[in-house]
Structure 1
Amino acid sequence: MALRGRGQARRVADSTAVKAAARAGFAARGLIYVLVGVIALQIAFGEGGGGKQADRGGALSELAQKPFGSVVLWAVGLALAGMALWRLSEAAFGQAGPDGGKPSKRAMAAARFVFYVFVSYSVLSYAAGDKGSGSGSTDKRTEDVTAMVLKWPGGQWIVGLAGAAVVGAGLWIAARAVKKKFRKHLRTEAMSQKAQRFTDFFGVAGGSARGALFAGAGVFAIVAAVHHQPGKAKGMDDTLRSFADLPAGPWLLAVIALGLAAFGVFSWCNARWRKV
């Protein structure tokens, strides 16, 4: 009975419905990143983003103001739930590819499952009318969490090590993007040369910008730990805005903003050609 049940679960994980849910999730993720990139670009050019946050909350607020915004929000939330379901199937049965069953990859899939459950829940809550859910400021949440951890015994070390880990993750994301490691997850045999070049460009640009954003947020967490000041930790919005204060000024923020939008386009490419 146990083997039969596992076989049925495996068939469900490999079903067309779960694959479609994964592709819908990539499409929804792409939309959010494109909107974040657009808001960040407005900030770079001195428009302040129209008072919006350059993070997921700002993207949801932007969607809500569009025609049929409520319908789109529900669609995005459900699509992200589909992404969570697909990640759960990867954690349970392994990813596509010869090394997809490695414990490390399955553990990563499990972590992503938890992340997308949270994101999907926050988006659906926002769509249902809880405007303090999905639209909450990442800066405020980051500061609150940092303040809580700093009160723990050894809190400074925990925050500092977490920040260092985020910096490392950012550098890892950027390096993998530059090396085009994402190709192994794509059905390149089904792609034309033009489609491969298109995907490579947006994959490298998008992954590099996303990695830079992660690394920047990690640096601020380390600074918060060193000074024991939770206010120095920054979420996505404040981290992006901080790029405008560097010597390159708003042009660097503009490059990062375009890179995040590029990652959104790359996510759409994944929706079409990802191995699921």
Structure 2
Amino acid sequence: MATGSATARGQRQARRAANSKAVAAAARAGFVARGVLYALIGVLSLRIAFSGGSGQADRGGAVAEIAEKPFGTALLWLLGAALAGMALWRLSEAAFGQAGPDGNKPGKRATAAGRCLFYGFVAYSVLSYAAGDEGSGGGSSDRRSQDVTAKALDWPGGQWIVGTAGAAVTAAGLWIAVRALRRRFEKHLRTAEMSRRTRHVVSAFGVFGGTARGIVFATAGGFAITASVEHRPGRAKGVDNTLRTFADTPAGPWLLALIATGLIAFGVFSCANARWRDV
């Protein structure tokens, strides 16, 4: 009995901690950090579209860009800590459910667990870069994608594994884009606290930004599928080369500029989530 009572008391304390103002503040800081990264990736993509720059339009490029600024290392520590806060919040959602009437569904909690792992990895890579490991957060997403694809293709059934992973990323990208177009994000926002003008602006940024983000994910997944079918690791592309591919279409740099602007819009939308998201 005593053991059961102690366990129940521990669970209640953990739930209260998960719903605390500290975890909410960590989540909001995480949204700002995510917004900064996406906005910087968008800016770097615009630079490539119009000047053909050799910069790296991915998370590594964004981290390197911050590091070059005054107090860059300190900013990276803050960014990494904020992303760790996002991972902590997602962990609390996985353990105790999300806000909203359907937040306790197993699928929602599993998705939160996956996001926790993702943001935990991103936070670790940024903090490692801040600590001096420039091969971590600043590494090329293209090189990593090709290295991972090459290793996976050497495994038994490697083509199926890579193809399935690519299909999953493509499906995730399409899911992100469709949810953005359907404005499913609005149910997580405290829209009643917004003015009518603010609500329309935030919604527009969410639709445009979320759609652009989804297109990038879906396109990257398509390249992974191609790499599996052709058994050529070099066909896999990270975020940087995926974005550059848009400039190689008949629309030229204007399509890349459109996607880049969408990523900046998503960065702004993410910062709006820091203000109005129901956490």
TM-score of the aligned structures, taking structure 2 as reference length: 0.97
What is the count of residue pairs matched by the alignment? 274
In 2, the alpha carbon distance for the partners of 1:219 and 1:118 equals 23
Structure 1 position 261 matched with structure 2 position 264: yes
1:205-260 Cα shifts (integer Å, max 9, x gaps): 10010011011101111110111000000000000001111111110000000000
Corresponding residue for 1:29?
A: 34
Cα distance in structure 2, aligned partners of 1:166 and 1:246: 22
Shift of 1:47: 3.3
Shift of 1:163: 1.1
Q: CA deviation at 1:46?
A: 2.7
Q: State how far apart, in whole Å, the 2-side matches of 1:151 and 1:46 are.
A: 38
Distance across 2 between alignment mates of 1:142 and 1:121: 18
Asked if residue 68 in structure 1 is aligned to residue 76 in structure 2, the reply is no
Q: Residues of 2 paired with 1:13 and 1:6: CA distance? A: 10
Partner of 1:4 in structure 2? 9
Tell me if the contact between 2:48 and 2:55 (Cα under 8 Å) persists in the aligned partners: no
Q: Distance in 2 between matches of 1:218 and 1:112?
A: 18
2:64 and 2:192 map into 1 onto residues whose CA distance is 39
Match of 2:109 in 1: 106
Structure 1 residue 190 displacement after superposition:
1.3
Correspondence list, 1:88-127, <5 A? 88-127=91-130
Q: CA RMSD in A?
A: 0.7
- Structure 2 residue runs of 5 or longer lacking an equivalent are 1-5
User: Take 1:19 and 1:267, find their aligned partners in 2: how far apart are those partners?
Assistant: 15
How far the C-alpha of 1:123 sits from its partner, in A, is: 0.4
Q: How does 1:26-65 map to 2 (within 5 A)?
A: 26-48=31-53, 51-65=54-68
Which amino acid in 1 is paired with 2:181? V
Residue of structure 2 in register with 1:272 after alignment: 275
Greater shift in the superposed pair: 165-174 or 36-45: 165-174
Whether the aligned pair in 1 keeps the contact of 2:168 and 2:221 (CA below 8 Å) is yes
CA distance in 2 between partners of 1:67 and 1:119 (Å): 22
Number of the residue aligned with 1:20: 25
Decide which of 114, 130, 140 is 2:133's aligned counterpart: 130
Cα separation, 1, equivalents of 2:90 and 2:195: 28
